[in-house]
């Protein structure tokens, strides 16, 4: 069962969500700071104050992660790439892009924007802490100095860690941009960068396992043992994400050679625009079992009506309304030729919000291409 997430605001017009797993790492970071780091750096304070400072520091750390993702998003928006949302979760944050970058240059700049923001934040925080320590060396400011140093170090670590050249980390996206520019094949570059990501995932997991074993032997402290567990966790996450990306690239490579003609539904049933919605449901939707039908009159395509359009109309009005009143009007976005690549058809469906397109050839309907038909074809030919 998928864990819930909640919207907490917007930035750059992008919805910001917090995943339920974020609260786990928030409590862990707060606890680690309140019971370990802060007492060591600022001895003599009360326990509630340590916890309060730990909570504030954890929130600021995640604000840094959000700014990192907004760096990616800002550059992506400059390239007309929609950002559906930014989600904060247990491993940090993720900007959900609506489509892939249009060029290796765009991929490079989008990937580098996040680490650059983190490194700049780190430099500003560390520089500010050093200036305050030099000019205003007062006991009352020690808490701010410690907090500034902590934020600076974590942002520098965040920026450098994301530059590891293993996809889907930012460094892996930089690697993909270079491979894409070199071999002119986006899916091949993704597969190659993901393979490097698999290697780094295994390496991080092995390092974490070694650290954990050393701790069991008593050679390391408890804090390093905790780091070993996190390295194993991050390694597993990176390995699984890279594996999923590699499989996705393989699917897209296989689909790159497919045309709409190969996957379309050839037997097309059309509806008349003046029939009632009730007749359409009884005679076509129920008996044929299709999720939508083109609406034609005199050989001319007028639109498409789907199950969603029918459900949007109260059932009591079905006998009173006609198909032409609820159909989606025909438009250039609704029609494609049969020789289009399947990937291009899927992009069209994603951009227009449609789950089916009418295939036209010589101004005649020759088929329908639907998301379910594409999925069915791939399932049958997955071997």
pLDDT at position 360 over 90: no
Give the H or E element holding residue 378.
helix 371-380
pLDDT at position 383 over 50: no
The predicted model gives 155-159 an average pLDDT of 87
- Mean pLDDT for the chain? 82
Give the H or E element holding residue 248.
helix 222-256
**Alpha-carbon distance 84 to 201, whole Å?**
27
> Domain-by-domain residue ranges, the chain?
5-163, 189-256, 260-380
Task: List phi, psi (to 5°) of 137.
Answer: -75, 80
User: What would the DSSP string read from start to end of 3-27?
Assistant: PPEEEEEEETTEEEEEEHHHHHHHH
Q: Give the angle 160-62-152 at the CA atoms, nearest 5°.
A: 45
Which pLDDT score is estimated for 117?
A: 92
Q: What is the pLDDT of residues 62-102, one digit of tens each?
A: 888 889 999 999 999 988 888 888 888 766 778 888 778 88
Taken as a whole, the chain contains a residue count of 383
pLDDT at position 163 over 80: yes
Determine if the pTM surpasses 0.85: no
Of 89 and 60, which is predicted with more confidence?
60
* CATH homologous superfamily for the domain 260-380: CBS-domain (3.10.580.10)
**Alpha-carbon distance 360 to 153, whole Å?**
59
Q: What is the pLDDT of residues 213-237, one digit of tens each?
A: 777 666 555 455 456 667 787 788 7
Of 275 and 209, which is predicted with more confidence?
275
């Amino acid at each position: 069962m998928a864990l819930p997430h909640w919207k907490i605001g917007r930035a750059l017009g992008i919805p910001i969500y917090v995943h339920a797993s974020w609260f786990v790492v928030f409590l862990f970071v707060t606890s680690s700071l309140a019971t370990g780091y802060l007492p060591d750096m600022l001895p003599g304070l009360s326990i509630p104050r340590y916890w309060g400072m730990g909570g504030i520091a954890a929130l600021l750390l995640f604000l840094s992660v959000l700014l990192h993702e907004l760096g990616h998003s800002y550059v992506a928006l400059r390239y007309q790439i929609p950002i559906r949302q930014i989600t904060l979760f247990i491993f940090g944050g993720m900007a959900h892009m609506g489509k892939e970058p249009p060029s290796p240059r765009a991929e490079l700049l989008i990937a580098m924007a996040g680490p650059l923001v983190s490194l700049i934040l780190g430099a500003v925080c560390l520089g500010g802490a050093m200036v305050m320590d030099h000019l205003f060396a007062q006991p009352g400011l020690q808490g701010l100095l410690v907090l500034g140093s902590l934020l600076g170090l974590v942002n520098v670590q965040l920026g450098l860690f994301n530059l590891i050249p293993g996809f889907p980390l930012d460094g892996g996206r930089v690697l993909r941009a270079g491979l894409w520019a070199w071999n002119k094949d986006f899916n091949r570059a993704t597969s190659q960068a993901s393979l490097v990501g698999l290697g780094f995932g295994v390496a991080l997991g092995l390092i974490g396992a070694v650290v954990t074993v050393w701790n069991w032997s008593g050679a390391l402290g408890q804090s390093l043992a905790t780091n070993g567990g996190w390295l194993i966790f991050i390694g597993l996450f990176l390995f699984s994400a890279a594996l999923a990306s590699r499989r996705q690239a393989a699917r897209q490579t296989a689909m790159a050679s497919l045309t709409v003609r190969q996957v379309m539904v050839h037997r097309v049933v059309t509806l008349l625009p003046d029939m009632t919605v009730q007749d359409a449901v009884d005679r076509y939707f129920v008996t044929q079992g299709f999720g939508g039908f083109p609406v034609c009159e005199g050989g001319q395509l007028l639109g498409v009506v789907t199950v969603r359009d029918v459900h949007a109309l109260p059932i009591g009005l079905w006998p009173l309304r006609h198909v032409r009143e609820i159909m989606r009007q025909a438009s250039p976005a609704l029609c494609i030729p049969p020789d289009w690549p399947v990937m291009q058809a899927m992009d069209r469906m994603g951009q227009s919000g449609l789950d089916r397109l009418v295939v036209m050839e010589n101004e005649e309907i020759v088929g329908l291409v639907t998301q379910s038909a594409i999925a069915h074809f791939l399932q049958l030919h997955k071997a």
